[in-house]
Structure 1
């Protein structure tokens, strides 16, 4: 059985959703970020990067990084239909995930939620939070355009939607109103059995 290392409220929620969508056989292991468990000797023995998500597959191979794990799940469980068809479709899914994780998450939400990791002093942290919020707002506007009037980012449900979903939860955390079509997207996500199961496991 695989072991999936996650933290409640972290981006790993998106991977949790995908594992449930795929019907994967796994055991979830919660890492308490507030207690700095990611830096513990026990977890570093699993993932020296000290971060989640992390997936230890049955054959013992560790996978890290959201995009990589998401692609592996989609390729390993093709019956779940988590990737658009063809190489071009796969590229578009990864392109969206890279933008969401690399830009909106890392250069937006991260600066808002933990500015103290980057700068000291109240004024500098306030400025960094403002910069992060601007990145998030522009990013969500871009993703709103991508979503348009469709149910899912790429037309059919895919790994990209799991990435956007965890960001909608973070938007709530910082008191940011979602564009109307993304708010409707989140409601569709919350109606999916796999999403409900993942949320229950992280409660």
Structure 2
């Protein structure tokens, strides 16, 4: 994992399911994710990666979240209802494919999308617009009350990490997403992980909601 990245979601969920686990921090700016020893674990060089007790390695955040939700604490954090499972997948994929990969990726690594260094400011601005629009769509998928599916599930830490990014970058959050974010900030596991990653939970969750 790397502090402040999407791997925060996996870290939170591991705390929530009360599994004993060991964290290995990958220094992304230093390119440690491209070193042979990490590529041997995850050939794509992405984070997070989760090595299971049987030696298998999961390298996709949505897969990790679903596996933990299904297989830990007697499946408490993965819905049994097929309709809710479909909603969970839709929410998590909206986060990873749209909010993250299309929006915030342009904010954090604009050079990957820019033809020249001078394009970066425009790419970052575009990323903020894309992220804000995708967050609106995401908010519409969330349960009007409480957590993403009503009760806490493996989908909630994934929703949380992009709300955290929005908070840190002043990208406006719709009211429903902000309510979810603040609800998550009250969970002990979230507070513990944020502190471990170097953040002060008491300073988070203050942005005004998007009037739209």
Q: Is the shorter-chain TM-score for this pair beyond 0.5, marking a shared fold?
A: yes
Residue 13 of structure 1, aligned match among 8, 15, 31: 8
Is 1:106 aligned with 2:101?
Answer: yes
Greater mean alpha carbon deviation, residues 59-68 or residues 70-79? 70-79
Deviation at 1:77, TM superposition (A): 1.1
SS state at 2:122 partner: helix
Greater mean alpha carbon deviation, residues 61-70 or residues 150-159? 150-159
Residue 156 of structure 2, aligned match among 152, 156, 161: 161
Greater mean alpha carbon deviation, residues 41-50 or residues 115-124? 115-124
Moved beyond 3 Å, runs of 4+? none
Aligned positions, number: 198
Where does 1:85-100 land on structure 2 (aligned, <5 Å)? 85-100=80-95
Contact 2:50–2:57, Cα closer than 8 Å, also in 1: yes
Deviation at 1:65, TM superposition (A): 0.7
Return the structure number with greater strand share. 1
Structure 2 alignment gaps of length 5 or more: 199-212
In 2, the alpha carbon distance for the partners of 1:78 and 1:151 equals: 21
What's the TM-score, normalizing by structure 2? 0.86
Contact 2:15–2:189, Cα closer than 8 Å, also in 1: yes
Return the structure number with greater helix share. 1
Residue 179 of structure 2, aligned match among 177, 184, 190: 184
Structure 1 alignment gaps of length 5 or more: 1-5
Deviation at 1:29, TM superposition (A): 0.8
Greater mean alpha carbon deviation, residues 116-125 or residues 183-192? 116-125
What's the TM-score, normalizing by structure 1? 0.90
SS state at 2:125 partner: helix
Which has the higher relative contact order, 1 or 2, with Cα contacts under 8 A spaced 6 or more apart? 1
Where does 1:125-140 land on structure 2 (aligned, <5 Å)? 125-140=120-135
Is 1:193 aligned with 2:195?
Answer: no
Cα RMSD after superposing both structures? 1.7
Is 1:69 aligned with 2:42?
Answer: no
